[in-house]
């Protein structure tokens, strides 16, 4: 269940970040309210995941996956481009997350 909480926290963080862009500097009320609600839900779910996952491990996965998903959303929804260094950096983040999850004993309980 801990990874379900972490995955849901990541999804809500990406929703919050997406709505943050749509809020236009908090000048649009409904996207602003959605941003705040999504972040509130994200942090709550993240706190539940932290009951069973070490903070460093959970945050690395949360941040890494959040970066990847947010970059995908920016390309798909906002037609923003990623150049080669950006793609390479994202791939390095994926490699770090894989390394942590499959080879590190830090997150093993």
Q: Could you tell me if residue 23 is inside a domain?
A: yes
Per-residue pLDDT band at 28 (split at 50, 70, 90): very high
Q: Could you tell me if residue 108 is inside a domain?
A: no
Q: How many Å from the N-terminal Cα to the C-terminal Cα in the chain?
A: 14
Residue numbers of the domain that contains 29: 2-103
- Give per-residue burial for 52-66: e unless 16+ CB within 10 Å, then b: ebeeebbebbbebbb
Q: What is the pLDDT of residues 39-69, one digit of tens each?
A: 999 999 999 999 999 888 898 889 889 999 9
Q: Could you tell me if residue 82 is inside a domain?
A: yes
- Entry pTM: 0.86
Which of these, 58, 57, 56, 39, lies nearest to 48 by C-alpha position? 58
Q: What is the pLDDT of residues 70-82, one digit of tens each?
A: 999 999 999 999 9
C-alpha span between 1 and 6 (Å, rounded): 9
């Amino acid at each position: 269940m801990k990874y379900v909480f972490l995955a849901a926290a990541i999804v809500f963080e990406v929703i919050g970040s997406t709505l943050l862009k749509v809020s236009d500097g908090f000048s649009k009320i409904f996207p602003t309210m959605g941003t705040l609600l999504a972040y509130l839900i994200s942090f709550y779910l993240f706190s539940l995941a932290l009951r069973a996952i070490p903070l460093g491990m959970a945050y690395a996965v949360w941040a890494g996956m959040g970066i990847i998903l947010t970059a995908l959303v920016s390309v798909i929804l906002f037609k923003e481009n990623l150049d080669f260094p950006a793609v390479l950096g994202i791939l390095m983040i994926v490699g770090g997350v894989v390394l942590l999850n499959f080879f590190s004993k830090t997150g093993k309980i």
